[in-house]
Amino acid sequence: MSTPVLEALRELLDEDLDGVTSTPEGLRAVADARWGEVTLGIDQDEDGPDADEIALRVSAAIAPPAGAGHELLLWALSTNTQYWAVKIGLTEDGMLLVHADLDADGPEPDGLLAADVMDRVESILQLLDEDLSEWCLVHGFGTPAQRARWESRRPERALDEDDEDDDEE
């Protein structure tokens, strides 16, 4: 649910998060990522234990990659140990949920909270674009259209010194 806190946060995020809007569920923005179009959600837990703190969840729910079964669960568990700010779980509908929970001191959002939210948004997109996309490509998961998108948006591999030495010979 959109709250006065979320509305104030939306105003702070407006410059950094393209298209962020208030909805009845909370704040939403769509990112055009390597993974695909990702709907990002920013929701407030109003039933938290302390009324003087702001409890937020930044998340993206995506369909699990086609063909991935228990291997995806193992990947998610191992990835959860690599990212301290972002975790992976499943929704009750079976969607893959990449999320980060934030607590902020004080009853009003400020620039520091907005920066923390943007940091979590970037971490979520990084996990999807760099880790999950690559993992799916290596293991042959995803639809042909998804795989083509992930391949076409694969970052150029930086040359290391050995590659540069080989080119000079």
Helix or strand holding residue 116 (H, E): helix 111-126
What is the predicted pLDDT for the residue at 79? Answer: 87
Top-confidence residue, 159 or 113: 113
CATH number of 4-155: 3.30.1460.10
- Summarised one tens digit per residue, pLDDT across range 55-85 is 899 999 999 888 888 888 888 888 887 878 8
Give how far Cα 34 sits from Cα of 21, 31, 150, 156, Å: 22, 9, 6, 13
- Which residue ranges make up each domain of the chain? 4-155
pLDDT over 70 for what percent of the chain? Answer: 86
Per DSSP, the three-state class of 93 is coil
Per DSSP, the three-state class of 146 is helix
- Summarised one tens digit per residue, pLDDT across range 118-143 is 999 999 999 999 999 999 999 999 89
What mean pLDDT do residues 15-32 have? 92
